[in-house]
Amino acid sequence: MPEAVGSRLSEAFERARSEGRAALVGYLPAGYPTAAGAVAALRAMADAGVDVVEVGLPYSDPLMDGPTIQRAVDAALRAGTTTVDVLRTVEAVASAGTPAVVMSYWNPIARYGPDRFARELAAAGGSGVVTPDLIPDEAAEWLPPARGHRLDTVFLVAPSSTDERIALTVEACRGFVYAASTMGVTGARAQVGDAAAGLVARTRAATTLPIAVGLGVSTRDQAAEVASFADGVVVGSAFVRRMLDADDEASAVSAVAELAGELAGGVRQAGNRLAGR
């Protein structure tokens, strides 16, 4: 397996910044529609302009996943997708040159063994882990192995986060900070929450790390809107919806690539607009 390089995530955001734009982060769960299909879709996203991929670890009791992602995750679990399959998916994507992080709730990592998970993810070429239900105060079992294996640790801030909570969270983050645009579960929305820009501003006052906004982005215009004030745009449910609506695996991969191209155009559109100010 390729050797992990903990700085690849930071390098992806820096590369986007040097181009005068936000980074595009795309999420899909491992194992859907098949293990090979997920790898093909993630690679297609990267080829079409996604800078960083989030590989979802299917979990039976998600707290933040909306109905779209839950449907795909349930199918992946019924097909027998395991943590080892997730690691193999990361390896297949990372070996093609795209920084890959795992999006996982804490319980599967705890059951697998935090040190074992960190060691095997690093060996697979993974860059880090986004843990939506884990807060830094309760991450004593996770931070040492993650640091020891040079994995970036990404925690979430939300509109309800106090300035004190934001400061505590960003101190534990590596790679980037995930800013949830709205309170509630994931899912494409007609518009991104109005609180997102304010949350990014408050978070930026506490850290020099890149700040990526997720939850709700599904169109080129929304990507451009978020890219006008954030360092990264995270898209998940919209990609999964394209796959769910496809007639077959090949069509699903093509649909994901098409959306990735549209969203990549959006973050670049925002960059061009900002450059012209």
Count the Cβ atoms, other than its own, within 10 Å of residue 21. Answer: 24
User: Does 61 fall in a domain?
Assistant: yes
Kindly tell me the burial class for residue 196, based on how many C-beta atoms sit within 10 Å of its own C-beta (0-12, 13-18, 19 or more).
buried
Residue 42: pLDDT band by 50, 70, 90 thresholds? very high
Per-residue model confidence (pLDDT) at position 189: 42
Percentage of residues in the chain with pLDDT exceeding 90? 82
Per-residue model confidence (pLDDT) at position 274: 45
Residue 62: pLDDT band by 50, 70, 90 thresholds? low
Residue 250: pLDDT band by 50, 70, 90 thresholds? very high
Residue 244: pLDDT band by 50, 70, 90 thresholds? very high
* Range(s) of the domain holding residue 206: 8-269
User: Does 2 fall in a domain?
Assistant: no
pLDDT tens digit sequence for 152-201 = 999 999 999 999 999 999 999 999 999 997 644 443 444 455 689 999 99
Nearby residues of 161 by Cβ (< 8 Å), 6 or more positions away: 169, 199, 202
User: Does 149 fall in a domain?
Assistant: yes
User: Does 275 fall in a domain?
Assistant: no
For helices 35-47 and 237-245, what crossing angle results, to 10°? 120
Annotation marks residue 247 as catalytic: no
User: Residues of 137-158 as b/e, b for ≥16 C-beta within 10 angstroms?
Assistant: eebeebbebbeebbbbbbbbbb
Per-residue model confidence (pLDDT) at position 182: 63
User: Does 3 fall in a domain?
Assistant: no
Please provide residue 44's backbone torsions phi and psi, each rounded to the nearest 5 degrees: -65, -40
Cis status, amide bond into 136, omega within 30 of 0: no
User: Does 276 fall in a domain?
Assistant: no
The sheet that has 52-56: what strands, in order across it?
152-154, 128-130, 100-103, 52-56, 23-29, 232-235, 211-214, 177-180, 156-157
Per-residue model confidence (pLDDT) at position 271: 60
Annotation marks residue 54 as catalytic: yes
Mean pLDDT of the chain: 90
Cα 216 from Cα 222, distance rounded (Å): 9
pLDDT tens digit sequence for 4-40 = 444 799 999 999 999 999 999 999 999 999 999 999 9
pTM: 0.91
Q: For the ranges 91-105, 153-167, 205-219, 259-273, which has the lowest average pLDDT?
A: 259-273
Catalytic residue, chosen from 51, 65, 152, 231, is: 65
Cα 103 from Cα 106, distance rounded (Å): 10
Catalytic residue, chosen from 51, 54, 152, 231, is: 54
User: Does 134 fall in a domain?
Assistant: yes
Residue 82: pLDDT band by 50, 70, 90 thresholds? very high
User: Does 31 fall in a domain?
Assistant: yes
Domain of residue 91, CATH code: 3.20.20.70
Q: Which region holds residue 249: left if phi is over 0, alpha if psi is between -120 and 50, else beta?
A: alpha
Q: In the chain, how many domains are there?
A: 1
Query: Which residue from 73, 99, 276 is spatially nearest to 185, judged by alpha carbons?
Result: 73
Which of 4 and 105 is assigned the larger pLDDT?
105
Cα 268 from Cα 204, distance rounded (Å): 21
Element of type H or E holding 87: helix 83-94
